[in-house]
Amino acid sequence: MAPPRIESKVSSVSPVMDAAEKGQRYARIFRKAGTYLSKGNIARAVEVLKKGQMLAEDNGDRAMAKRFADDIAAASLQASEK
């Protein structure tokens, strides 16, 4: 007789962020992008904003994903004006 199997619940449970943690992560991403924009590094800022957009989409946060998309568009427009 085989020994009983131990089920791991670690891999089956997806991490859930509370609202405060989400807000902190989004704010950190926006600050980081803002720092790159202020230094004129628009390409890096857009890259950071795209990562934020993917994070928001993964979290099912449509409104925040749209904010990231709007900022990506604004930064891209700023880059094309230079």
The answer to whether residue 3 sits within a structural domain is no
Q: Which residues of the chain have pLDDT under 70?
A: 1-16, 82
**Structural domain span for residue 66:** 19-81
What pLDDT score was predicted for residue 71? 96
The answer to whether residue 29 sits within a structural domain is yes
The answer to whether residue 49 sits within a structural domain is yes
Per the structure, how many domains does the chain have?
1
The answer to whether residue 13 sits within a structural domain is no
Contact 72, 54 (CB under 8 A): no
The answer to whether residue 11 sits within a structural domain is no
Q: What percent of the chain has pLDDT over 70?
A: 78
Whole-model pTM: value is: 0.76
